[in-house]
Structure 1
């Protein structure tokens, strides 16, 4: 058959090259972890170990790997079919049904191209799934830290409320304060107890959510040792960063770019005679390109906003440090007065609680920074 030899050879060569490179991709789940120490009450857990456990127990990650294997088999089958059609085409005589053979070769090559595209897509989904899982684990780990901080703050508030209640009861017994003032102190203690009970439940809920992600039993208590510390944002050229993230091949735009590729393939493989049908396929190409362009614009805006937020964290942290230092100065002054008998111990306890609250707010700001920076460099997670 004339006119198809070169196409057949090119198709076969493409199939053979792809098969030579065909290796089912698997997510690498071996992560250098720290020793996890356990006690009767708590499991000492690092973020690195948490991510390792999450990868080992993730059904979505396992499904992504299985999808790679499944598509590798389908690509192998399509390549084998293309080889058979190519071999038959090369041995056909010129008196055979040329158009029918040409159509068979075209159909086989189209199936091979579709299988190759699906295999490539499946391979790309594995590292994306790993990134998503890492981000989810980090957020769950951080949420458990913040929930524990809120519980600690409420416990300290209850300690203060109990001391104030005892003082009020003692004063009321001596007729120093009214029954109404005593009732207020009792009510404040009761409200503090209620708030602590709620924060305890929220803390356990956050730990249970982390346990579920890690494949561990519910009710596990953790000592989360990787507490984020705020650091000055890295200096980057946001314009160049946006250019890099919106360039061809960026994981953030893979789906949109693949849609363009698929639409163009459908148009190029069209072998019908209907002008309107072919026009519809070209419109699909134009639509896919337009959606890709819009996605790039939206991604650029998202990256700009994320970068601005990170920059704003710095000014917030500087203000927070000033408030923290003021509270520490206030505590030092109160302690000096207390040593001289000028202020009651309850005042020291109250100011100590204020200092710890500012310290925990610093941790929360560091968590916001870490998660924002993670998303800035991997915007496909947003």
Structure 2
């Protein structure tokens, strides 16, 4: 019995050690080369990892990749058909070769060019969808940061309201303030509680949207570690930038340029005798060119607007920094007065909250800057 007891004790100890090692191993979650630190309550989440998960979970991206594969098969089929038609038309010993074979080759060439164009368009969709997902994830990630900031601000407001209510109740008990004044303090605390509940619900909704985008479990709590910081905008020749992005081959113009090519192909392959039919195809070419020109104009206007916004952010940032410095000075002064017993602690708390809220406004401005800069260099997302 004693021997079996020792064995049982040793087995239990071994099991405890194994369990400890297993728990330690699970302290980190490895996801395709990215280590995401996690614990029981929170998951540390970088913007890069969020984007990667969103891409892996995207139905649109999976569909775009399947579309490329499908069009590759169709292109190979069209190429084989063209090869056979060309071989028949060039067969010197075939007595049946003639106008019919030439027309068949012409039709096969048209189908091949159409398949090649569709295949190229399908391939171009992949990086565009990737950009779209990156921007969508960035927005969701930053919205979660903003929502969390709103919760923090609501908590601070509630903390202040509770202190003010406590002071009001004490004064009312000594007859120092009216019942109406006491009621206002109580109502202010109740409003602050309601606002906190609303901001927490809104924050959870935003985080759940982020989880859904990434294909993660609803209700997951994240520690969002990539908090953006404001930076002075880099020098940019906006006119040259607009010229580059409105030139031929820009991803922002690919669909319109491809529409022009297809319209011109249809017109060039028309070999009928009906003048009206040819005129309609010529009008299609003209309409496609007009749409391309209109898109270029809209794109240029959007780029100018984004560039102007970035310049305005700089002025807003400088103003925020001035206000923040004033608030910090006021906070330091109030702390000094409080230590000397000249003012109540609630004034110190009020100034402290004012500083923190201005700091969060700087973060929100940095978020606006990052998103606008993203679209400035990838305007097809506008």
Q: TM-score, normalised by structure 1?
A: 0.91
Which residue does 1:200 correspond to in 2?
Answer: 200
Question: Quick check: 1:75–1:116 contact (8 Å CA) kept in 2?
Answer: yes
What does 1:326-365 align with in structure 2 at a 5 Å threshold? 326-365=326-365
Which residue does 2:211 correspond to in 1?
Answer: 211
Which residue does 2:80 correspond to in 1?
Answer: 80
- TM-superposed CA distance for 1:40, in Å, is 1.4
Question: Quick check: 2:88–2:97 contact (8 Å CA) kept in 1?
Answer: no
Which residue does 1:232 correspond to in 2?
Answer: 232
Which residue does 2:276 correspond to in 1?
Answer: 276
Which residue does 1:257 correspond to in 2?
Answer: 257
Provide the C-alpha distance between the structure 2 equivalents of 1:33 and 1:375, rounded to a whole number of angstroms.
Answer: 29
Question: Quick check: 2:141–2:210 contact (8 Å CA) kept in 1?
Answer: yes
Which secondary structure state, in structure 2, belongs to the residue aligned with residue 36 of structure 1? strand
What does 1:55-204 align with in structure 2 at a 5 Å threshold? 55-93=55-93, 95-204=95-204
Provide the C-alpha distance between the structure 1 equivalents of 2:191 and 2:39, rounded to a whole number of angstroms.
Answer: 33
Which secondary structure state, in structure 1, belongs to the residue aligned with residue 220 of structure 2? coil
Provide the C-alpha distance between the structure 1 equivalents of 2:249 and 2:94, rounded to a whole number of angstroms.
Answer: 44
- TM-superposed CA distance for 1:306, in Å, is 0.6
Which secondary structure state, in structure 1, belongs to the residue aligned with residue 74 of structure 2? helix
Which residue does 1:320 correspond to in 2?
Answer: 320
Which residue does 1:10 correspond to in 2?
Answer: none
Question: Quick check: 1:43–1:223 contact (8 Å CA) kept in 2?
Answer: yes
Provide the C-alpha distance between the structure 2 equivalents of 1:33 and 1:378, rounded to a whole number of angstroms.
Answer: 28
CA RMSD of aligned residues (A): 1.2
Question: Quick check: 1:149–1:360 contact (8 Å CA) kept in 2?
Answer: yes
- TM-superposed CA distance for 1:35, in Å, is 2.4
Which secondary structure state, in structure 1, belongs to the residue aligned with residue 35 of structure 2? coil
Question: Quick check: 1:156–1:353 contact (8 Å CA) kept in 2?
Answer: yes
- TM-superposed CA distance for 1:32, in Å, is 8.9
Provide the C-alpha distance between the structure 2 equivalents of 1:279 and 1:83, rounded to a whole number of angstroms.
Answer: 32
- TM-superposed CA distance for 1:34, in Å, is 4.9
Which residue does 1:39 correspond to in 2?
Answer: 39
Question: Quick check: 1:34–1:48 contact (8 Å CA) kept in 2?
Answer: no
Which secondary structure state, in structure 2, belongs to the residue aligned with residue 44 of structure 1? strand
Question: Quick check: 1:33–1:49 contact (8 Å CA) kept in 2?
Answer: no
Question: Quick check: 1:327–1:351 contact (8 Å CA) kept in 2?
Answer: yes
Provide the C-alpha distance between the structure 1 equivalents of 2:253 and 2:90, rounded to a whole number of angstroms.
Answer: 41
Question: Quick check: 1:165–1:189 contact (8 Å CA) kept in 2?
Answer: yes
**For the structure 1 residues 358 and 33, does the alpha-carbon distance in structure 2 shift closer, same or farther, using more than 3 Å as the test?**
farther
Question: Quick check: 1:54–1:214 contact (8 Å CA) kept in 2?
Answer: yes
Which residue does 1:379 correspond to in 2?
Answer: 379
More divergent stretch after superposition (84-93 vs 63-72): 84-93
Q: TM-score, normalised by structure 2?
A: 0.91
For these two proteins, the number of residue pairs brought into alignment is 352
**For the structure 1 residues 33 and 152, does the alpha-carbon distance in structure 2 shift closer, same or farther, using more than 3 Å as the test?**
farther
Provide the C-alpha distance between the structure 2 equivalents of 1:39 and 1:160, rounded to a whole number of angstroms.
Answer: 32
Provide the C-alpha distance between the structure 1 equivalents of 2:142 and 2:322, rounded to a whole number of angstroms.
Answer: 24
Question: Quick check: 1:34–1:46 contact (8 Å CA) kept in 2?
Answer: no
Runs of 4+ residues over 6 Å off in structure 1: none
